[in-house]
Chain A
Amino acid sequence: MSATAVNIAQVHKHFGAVHALKGIDFSIERGEFFGLLGPNGAGKSTLINIMAGLARADGGAIEVHGHDVVKHYRKSRMMLGVVPQELVYDPFFSVREMLRLQSGYFGFGRENHAWIDELISVLNLQDKALANLAQLSGGMKRRVLIAQALVHKPKVLVLDEPTAGVDVELRQALWEFSSRLHKQGTTIVLTTHYLEEAEALCGRIAIVDQGALVALDTTSVLLNRHPYRLLCLTTQDVNVQLPAALAAHVVAQEAHSLVLRLHRVDDPIGAVLDGLRSAGVQIQDIQLREPKLEDVFLHITGRGHA
């Protein structure tokens, strides 16, 4: 039996003249917490939609737990739970009704009602179980969407921007919940705009840009791949003047604070500090900040936030 949870093979997708996915090719192993990052319009959602059967690829194939998402769509969909990005809901039904309907779509009957009640409890929806979905807050609707995605106990859970627009408390709760699912063996695929979220949760990350895969590695290797780190200084004097060689490294300067971007190999910290002392800069405090995923992301994509 293959250890691959999701296998994406040379997937192409066009929207008119736009080549939205240009031969995307990678695998996600079973039990991984996998991050799929990219700027807006990079093709992340299109890829997820093809995986879930909400869109059709023009070329290539995707398998979920060895089942082709087109040829064996019933089996692949049984393996996959998707939390959509948009807060969609059916205004005719209550939370419990909707979960039971969703369970029925996947072929389950009364035997699954206990699991539905457990999901309602775990996601703190007990007070809202009988409430109409239209009456729920955005955060509550997000919890219901997660419950809906889990109602058939999928092996792979796709969270498409799950924490977009939710408050800090709920975001923390969702992090904990997804971590718990991951520990229980569920493969998690996360797309997010919050790069610190991906950095904290994901073991491996793929970065997609303009429909192409531009990076794929473990989070730690990706972070180490970034060639720069930041030297944050607090100086005794205000707005110190630096020699040209050092001034070229300054990325931020304000009153007593100075931030220099240094190449790991080409700019040894000792030499930089010597240069500062020679220039008469008196240093009160030093902090070295290792690169964050955001720095890596910006470096690879060469643009703004994901």
Chain B
Amino acid sequence: MNWRGFYTLFAKEVWRFMKVAVQTVLTPVVTAVLYLVVFAHVLEEHVQVYPGVSYTAFLIPGLIMMSVIQNAFANSSSSLIQSKMNGNIVFVLLAPISSLEFYAAFVLAAIARGVMVGVVLYVIALGFADLPVQHVGILLAFAVLGSGLLGALGLIGGIWADKYDQLAAYQNFLILPLSFLSGVFYSLYSLSPFWQWVSRFNPFFYMIDGVRYGFLGVSDVPPLQSLWVISLFFIVISLIALGLIQRGYKLRR
């Protein structure tokens, strides 16, 4: 194991997004806060999803997790495609870094960015609602597994895409709809039975629901079930990402 090589690649990925923190951390936080302001203002007096929980308090965990996973995806995918397009991916490919080290460095950096955006957003959101964390361990498990899963999906997207346009399609036609239709703004039970059934195939729903349980102590499905689903997806997507790196798909000719 080339621990130092792995750590350097991880540190470089974190360093990279911290050098442009306005774009990679601050901007998504501002976007999420705008969602919060608008939706909370419009729906606070009209909607109560769970008894005793304000709509704003219901909304914040979903918005936080949506920001976490979107930024985790953006980190690994954009870094990889930029490196491919600029050609500087060779610096890593020439080094004695294994596929597992490569995968782990990118995914951990994606988790770091996702969690950082989530923490900053949470601190700001505390100004909008009283929102103590009910289950810290569960919250962290979903944040780490969810951002890890999206980090791995970002790796696959970055490896697969040959140009920014393709990555944008992957992000806008797959990641964005799945994250928006995952119950960030509503409860699963507010949907018709058919759409409830469809939503249960969306892994992002389980991430949002699990995080909501971590904050509020209530959720649409049992948190353990969500944890199993997310863990399974994480393992499958990670194995696919690792397989692609190992094969050198679109990385090594």
Query: What is A's interface to B at a CB cutoff of 8 Å?
Result: 15, 46, 49, 52-56, 73-75, 77-78, 80, 82, 84, 86, 88-93, 101-102, 104-109, 148
- Tell me which residues across on chain A come within 8 A of B11, comparing CB atoms: 104
Partner pick for B86 among A55, A73, A90, CB 8 A cutoff: A90
A90 to B8: give the CA distance in the assembly, Å: 15
Is B46 in the interface zone, CB < 8 Å from A? Answer: no
Partner pick for A89 among B8, B19, B86, CB 8 A cutoff: B86
A52 and B94: CB pair below 8 A?
A: yes
* Size class of the contact patch on chain B: 20 to 34
- Tell me which residues across on chain A come within 8 A of B12, comparing CB atoms: 101, 104
- Tell me which residues across on chain B come within 8 A of A84, comparing CB atoms: 87, 90
Is B248 in the interface zone, CB < 8 Å from A? Answer: yes
A109 and B94: CB pair below 8 A?
A: no
A148 to B98: give the CA distance in the assembly, Å: 19
B8 and A104: CB pair below 8 A?
A: yes
- Tell me which residues across on chain B come within 8 A of A109, comparing CB atoms: 4
B19 and A92: CB pair below 8 A?
A: yes
A104 and B5: CB pair below 8 A?
A: yes
Interface of B is mostly: helix
Known: A101-B12, A108-B4. A91 touches B86 (CB 8 A): yes
- Tell me which residues across on chain A come within 8 A of B253, comparing CB atoms: 15, 46, 49, 54-56
B83 and A54: CB pair below 8 A?
A: no
A92 to B79: give the CA distance in the assembly, Å: 11
Partner pick for A86 among B7, B87, B92, B95, CB 8 A cutoff: B87
Partner pick for A54 among B86, B88, B93, CB 8 A cutoff: B93
**Distance between A138 CB and nearest chain B CB, rounded to angstroms:** 14
A74 and B94: CB pair below 8 A?
A: no
In the complex, what residue of chain A is closest to B248 when comparing beta carbons? A56
- Tell me which residues across on chain A come within 8 A of B194, comparing CB atoms: none
Enumerate 29 A-B pairs (CB-CB under 8 Å) in ascending A order.
A52-B94, A53-B94, A54-B90, A54-B253, A55-B253, A56-B248, A56-B253, A73-B96, A75-B96, A77-B95, A82-B90, A86-B87, A88-B86, A88-B88, A88-B91, A90-B83, A92-B15, A101-B12, A101-B91, A104-B7, A104-B9, A105-B5, A105-B9, A105-B92, A106-B95, A107-B4, A107-B5, A108-B4, A148-B91
**Distance between A106 CB and nearest chain B CB, rounded to angstroms:** 6
A32 to B21: give the CA distance in the assembly, Å: 48
A60 to B88: give the CA distance in the assembly, Å: 28
A78 to B94: give the CA distance in the assembly, Å: 9
- Tell me which residues across on chain A come within 8 A of B16, comparing CB atoms: 92
Partner pick for A82 among B8, B9, B94, CB 8 A cutoff: B94
Kindly name the residue among A74, A89, A93, A107 whose own CB sees the greatest number of chain B CB atoms within 10 A. A107
A102 and B95: CB pair below 8 A?
A: yes
In the complex, what residue of chain B is closest to A90 when comparing beta carbons? B88
Kindly name the residue among B3, B19, B88 whose own CB sees the greatest number of chain A CB atoms within 10 A. B88
- Tell me which residues across on chain B come within 8 A of A90, comparing CB atoms: 83, 86, 88, 91
Kindly name the residue among A15, A75, A101, A109 whose own CB sees the greatest number of chain B CB atoms within 10 A. A101
A74 and B2: CB pair below 8 A?
A: yes
Known: A92-B16, A105-B95, A107-B96. A56 touches B8 (CB 8 A): no
**Distance between A58 CB and nearest chain B CB, rounded to angstroms:** 11
With contacts A84-B87, A90-B91 known, what are 14 further pairs, Cβ within 8 A? A53-B94, A53-B252, A55-B253, A75-B96, A84-B90, A88-B87, A90-B88, A101-B12, A101-B91, A104-B4, A104-B7, A104-B8, A105-B8, A106-B95
A107 to B7: give the CA distance in the assembly, Å: 9
A78 to B96: give the CA distance in the assembly, Å: 7
A36 to B22: give the CA distance in the assembly, Å: 47
In the complex, what residue of chain B is closest to A78 when comparing beta carbons? B96
In the complex, what residue of chain B is closest to A97 when comparing beta carbons? B15
In the complex, what residue of chain A is closest to B98 when comparing beta carbons? A74
A101 and B8: CB pair below 8 A?
A: yes
